């Protein structure tokens, strides 16, 4: 396996008596896209929240880019970034202003130049001087992705990157992410409910259920293991605990 950029050991998060993430261990290799799949409440968002330092684990260790994330997260955070449709920007600020604020927070050299570069890449040119609150959800997703790429992160965390996008724009974003990864060698951790997207983008899939990782493999390995033609059926098998049946068939 390639050198891991994320190494998680016995990660657990309990909210009162509920184990949202339950003794999870995994590592993620450099330069690939990994999917975190699972139904609602499977523990994906909590796992990503802990990896980003937004949530303190109850137990376990997280090592990212060689640093202990629980003790030295501020050494690592400048090299990570994150995009989620469930986190917003100040709506009254123009797109350019929001990007400028985050460029300053990440210490980006030539922030104006980097914003112009991303605006060209992500087709944001005409949006830069619009108020963020006036954008459609698809446009906001592109702005959120631009923010996530400002510091050219070594690891990019994407929570449902194409949710609420029309098929054309979603395809365009996926193509962009593929190009970005090839160009920079970044690692991407992606939580998605779109199985076609996962099959296309990801070289590694972690399947979560009830806070645990219940299976793992490349998309083709999972398809073959479950005897299914697509990941959606694999997802349903796991969500409905049909692995044993599938294996028996």
Q: Which stretch binds another protein (CB under 8 A): 26-34, 80-88, 203-211, 222-230?
A: 80-88
Question: Which tokens in the block code for residue 122?
Answer: 């992500």
Placement of tokens 């724009």 in the chain:
169
Tell me which of 29, 101, 236, 239 binds another protein, using CB under 8 A.
101
Stretch that binds another protein, among 78-86, 167-175, 228-236, 241-249 (CB under 8 A): 78-86
Does residue 114 interact with another protein by CB under 8 A?
yes
Rounded distance between C-alpha atoms, residue 43 and residue 27, angstroms: 16
**Least distance from another protein to the Cβ atom of residue 94, Å:** 7
CA distance 34 to 187: 8
The correct pick among 110, 126, 129, 245 for binding another protein (CB under 8 A) is: 110
Give whichever of 152 and 209 is closer to another protein, judged by the CB atom: 152
Under the binding rule (CB under 8 A), the answer on residue 44 touching another protein is no
Q: How far is the CB of 72 from another protein (least distance, A)?
A: 12
Q: Is 40 in the site for another protein (CB under 8 A)?
A: no
Phi-psi region of 160 (alpha: psi -120 to 50; beta: other; left: phi over 0): left
Q: Which residue in the block uniquely carries the two structure tokens 């891991």?
A: 4
Q: How far apart are CA 19 and CA 124, in angstroms?
A: 41
Strand partners, 4: 29
Residue 85 makes contact with another protein by CB under 8 A: no
Place of tokens 């989620």: 84
Contacts with 32 (C-beta within 8 Å, 6 or more apart), sequence order: 2, 187, 188, 202, 203, 204
**Using CB under 8 A as the criterion, which residues of the chain lie in contact with another protein when the complex forms?**
13, 15, 20, 45-46, 49, 52-56, 74, 77-78, 80-82, 84, 86-94, 97, 100-102, 104-110, 114, 131, 147, 151-152, 157
């Amino acid at each position: 396996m390639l050198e891991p950029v994320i190494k998680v050991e016995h990660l657990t998060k309990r909210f009162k008596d509920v184990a949202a993430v339950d003794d999870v261990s995994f590592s993620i290799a450099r330069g690939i896209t990994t999917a975190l799949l699972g139904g609602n409440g499977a523990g994906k968002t909590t796992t990503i929240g802990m990896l980003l330092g937004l949530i303190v684990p109850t137990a376990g260790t997280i090592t990212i880019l060689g640093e202990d994330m629980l003790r030295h997260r501020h050494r690592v955070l400048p090299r990570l970034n994150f995009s989620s449709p469930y986190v917003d920007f100040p709506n009254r600020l123009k797109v350019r202003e929001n990007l400028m604020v985050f460029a300053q927070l990440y210490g980006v050299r030539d922030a104006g130049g980097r914003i112009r570069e991303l605006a060209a890449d992500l087709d944001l040119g005409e949006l830069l001087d619009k108020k963020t609150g006036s954008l459609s959800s698809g446009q906001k997703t592109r702005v959120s992705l631009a923010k996530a790429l400002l510091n050219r992160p070594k690891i990019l965390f994407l929570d449902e990157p194409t949710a609420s996008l029309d098929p054309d724009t979603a395809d365009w974003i996926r193509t962009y992410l593929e190009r970005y990864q090839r160009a920079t060698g970044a690692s991407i951790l992606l939580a998605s409910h779109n199985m076609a997207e996962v099959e296309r983008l990801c070289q590694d899939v972690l399947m979560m259920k009830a806070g645990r990782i219940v299976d793992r493999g490349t998309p083709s390995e999972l398809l073959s293991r479950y005897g299914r033609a697509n990941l959606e059926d694999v997802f349903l098998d796991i969500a409905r605990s049909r692995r044993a049946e599938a294996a028996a068939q």
